[in-house]
Amino acid sequence: MGDVVAAPPPVRIPVRGGGTFPVRRIYCVGRNFAEHAREMGASVPTSTADRGSPVFFCKPADAIVLDGQVPYPRGTRELHHEVELVVAIGRDAGPDPIAPADAASYVFGYALGLDLTRRDLQTEAKAKGLPWDTGKAFDHSAPISEIVPAGAFGDVAARAIELSVNGRVRQHSGFDDLVWTVPEIVHELSRLFALRAGDLVFMGTPAGVGPLVPGDVYVARIDAILELRGQVSDPR
Ligand code: MN
């Protein structure tokens, strides 16, 4: 007796320099830039001691889009862009939490992604105290670039991210003002989940989120090292 339904193969993200990265899970961090938390009407931490715990949610691995092409999703009138740094986990964690000082050894590399959001559905869920899944975890909600190995990417805090739509800059920020840094997020996630090779972590978006409509062309960049471009098409 074999499988009674067809098992889809994992999504495989190209790696610069060769090879592919098979995706297991997608974790996402919410409210990781103070200015974005403010524009969403959330409280903004004023110090490290005041941060509380990071906000985490997930997307399905098959939400990934490799060619940049996003069909306008069903069930929404408010598709929003959130441009984000993506961390690619390169090895399995043990049963104990990963110490922030050890986090770098678990990071294979970095990519550039969009955490596409059905903002109307997320806003409605937030207002009712309900989960965010319908607003966040939909088909084609995670366009992503190739992955650059960590050594070639360099110091995250020294880099900046930008998103333009139809030639106009919508989002731009350095990573020097993340509320939670990459080592801190790896540590916090590992306290809650068994991180494994193949996991991705979307690190949260800076201020300037806004609508995407069919026909929009987007270009995202992290400095001159990563680029992701694509277009929103009519609903499928
Ligand atoms: Mn996000």
Q: How far is the CA of 28 from the centre of ligand 1 (A)?
A: 7
How far CA 73 is from CA of 6, 14, 79, 124, 180, in Å, comes to 25, 25, 8, 17, 30
Q: How far is the CA of 6 from the centre of ligand 1 (A)?
A: 31
User: How far apart are the C-alpha atoms of 214 and 71, rounded to whole Å?
Assistant: 8
What pLDDT, on the 0 to 100 scale, is given for residue 232? 98
What pLDDT, on the 0 to 100 scale, is given for residue 145? 98
6 token code pair: 């067809």
Query: What residues of the chain score a pLDDT lower than 70?
Result: none
User: How far apart are the C-alpha atoms of 204 and 161, rounded to whole Å?
Assistant: 11
User: How far apart are the C-alpha atoms of 202 and 86, rounded to whole Å?
Assistant: 5
Residue among 233, 214, 234, 209 nearest 37 (CA): 209
Q: How far is the CA of 36 from the centre of ligand 1 (A)?
A: 10
Q: Which domains does the chain have, with CATH numbers?
A: 14-233 (3.90.850.10)
Residue type, 38: R
Q: How far is the CA of 181 from the centre of ligand 1 (A)?
A: 15
What pLDDT, on the 0 to 100 scale, is given for residue 46? 72
Residue type, 27: Y
Please say whether the beta carbons of 139 and 52 come within 8 A.
no
Counting Cα atoms < 13 Å in the Cβ hemisphere of 89 gives: 29
Q: How far is the CA of 204 from the centre of ligand 1 (A)?
A: 4
What pLDDT, on the 0 to 100 scale, is given for residue 48? 78
What pLDDT, on the 0 to 100 scale, is given for residue 236? 80
What pLDDT, on the 0 to 100 scale, is given for residue 47? 75
119 token code pair: 């903002």
Please say whether the beta carbons of 171 and 163 come within 8 A.
yes
Q: How far is the CA of 18 from the centre of ligand 1 (A)?
A: 28
181 token code pair: 């840094």
Q: How far is the CA of 8 from the centre of ligand 1 (A)?
A: 26
What pLDDT, on the 0 to 100 scale, is given for residue 3? 94
Q: How far is the CA of 113 from the centre of ligand 1 (A)?
A: 10
* Dihedral over Cα of 192, 97, 108, 80: its sign: positive
Measure the CA dihedral 71/75/81/84, to 10°: -90
Q: How far is the CA of 30 from the centre of ligand 1 (A)?
A: 5
Q: How far is the CA of 5 from the centre of ligand 1 (A)?
A: 33
What pLDDT, on the 0 to 100 scale, is given for residue 204? 97
